[in-house]
Amino acid sequence: MEDCIFCKIVSGEIPSQRLYEDDDTFVFLDINPLQEGHTLVIPKIHTRDLFDTDAEVYMKIMKAVQQVGPAIKTVTGAEGFNVIANVGSAAGQTVFHTHFHIVP
């Protein structure tokens, strides 16, 4: 989608620190981390939020969260991590391309 920061990150138009990528998902470090290792997991296809996302795509993002979360925990040495989705500007969503935060 034009003018979507995360679509531009997927296409490489905007650089990012990529941690993982497959056919459907893209995983990269947050530019303004709440903690070291703060990571974003996004679908490659543009959707506005989780509730604008096909169940099939949703499952693929969750699969990436399941794979990457424990790896981030190990690398950062954190004892745990939060998986967060802000849905809607009132809930703090600022980028309207579906994403999960993984925050160690």
Tell me whether residue 2 or residue 79 sits nearer to Zn ion (CB atom): 2
CA distance 33 to 45: 24
Tell me whether residue 60 or residue 99 sits nearer to ligand 5GP (CB atom): 99
* Type of residue found at 23: D
Answer for which of 12, 77, 80, 92 binds ligand 5GP (CB under 6 A) is: 92
Tell me whether residue 3 or residue 79 sits nearer to Zn ion (CB atom): 3
Neighbours of 64 (CB within 10 A): 23
According to the binding rule CB under 6 A, does residue 89 interact with ligand 5GP?
no
What are the backbone dihedrals phi and psi of residue 47, each rounded to the nearest 5 degrees, phi first? -135, 155
Instruction: Assess contact for 85 and 47: CB atoms under 8 A.
Output: no
Concerning whether 46 is annotated as a catalytic residue, the answer is no
Report DSSP state, residue 17: -
- What character string, x for contact with ligand 5GP (CB under 6 A) and - otherwise, covers 10-39? ----x-x-----------xxxxx-------
